[in-house]
Each structure stands twice: as structure tokens, then as C-alpha cells.
Homo-oligomer: A and B are copies of this chain.
């Protein structure tokens, strides 16, 4: 076993581990949302980029409807239905954040075995295996959260530790 050559189907990451990884990142991002002064959350930006509130809303629009598509195969278009509810306070964003967290925890165990390897157009548009779609949700969050770290540093605020989940 120790020296066996890997087979193509060797498991690197289980379903449980992927969920924990995602929710760990989401807990950290929640603390980054909280670290911004409320005004800066909605207004501060660098180089013409979006303020962190908009980056956080992108994450929410990906995570909530995303886990629904993953679990049920029913995809909305990206951003569908969210135009009318643009949050104006941190509390509203955190409420939407927590709703997505609960939805992920609730729907994850209903994902059928084998589903992760199915190829399907996420949001009717992005054709990838489901595991890659989920990785994309996570990666996109890490990417934009990293940008939020620069905003915080530029504001003179120490961000939460990256490795604390």
C-alpha cells in the first residue's frame, strides 16, 4: 500500500471534508465583513474595484443559489431574483450570509453519491463537473476575500488571521 501507484480514482477529498473546507472559509469571510467599518464596507475601494459589500454579495449569490443547483439540479441564472434586494447595511448582508450558511448545511447531505463527478452547466452557463463548480465558489470567495484584506490594510485595520477558520 505504502508504495502503490495511485489509481485514477484515488480519493483526495471526501464530501464531508469539502463541506467543512467551504464552511471554514465562509466563517472567515464573515469575520472579514464584520471587520470593515460599515461606511467603508459599502464605499471603500482601490483601483476602481467594487467595495467589499458588493464582493460579499457576489459570494452570497453564488453560494445560496449555487448549493441549490448542486443539490437539486435546478439552476437559476446567476444573480436572478437578487436585483430587488440590494442590502444597505452590514446586518442585512450578514443575515443573507447566515441564510446561505444554513442552506448549505441543510442541502449538502442530500447531494446524491456520484453527483460530484457529473458535468453540468452551473447557473445554466458554466459547464464543469460539480466538484469543480463547488471549488470555483470557494476559490472565488478566497480571491475576493484576499482583495478585502488589502482594503482593510489600506484602511489601517488588521484583518483576521487567514488560517483561522
A13-B13 in contact (CB<8A): yes
Q: Which of A34-42, A77-85, A106-114 contacts B (4 or more CB under 8 A)?
A: A106-114
- Each complex incorporates copies of this chain amounting to 2
Within 8 A of B (CB), among A58-75: none
Closest B residue, CB atoms, query A156:
B47
A131-B12 in contact (CB<8A): yes
CA distance A48 to B155 in the complex (A): 11
B116-A12 in contact (CB<8A): yes
B135-A146 in contact (CB<8A): no
Bitwise, A1-38 to B at CB < 8 A (1) or not (0) is 11111111111111111100100010000000000000
Q: A155 to chain B: which residues have CB within 8 Å?
A: 47
Within 8 A of B (CB), among A114-165: 114, 116-117, 129, 131-132, 134-136, 139-140, 142-147, 149-156, 162-163
A-B contact pairs, 14 of them (CB 8 A): A3-B112, A5-B110, A6-B112, A8-B14, A8-B16, A10-B113, A10-B116, A12-B14, A12-B15, A12-B18, A46-B153, A46-B154, A47-B150, A143-B146
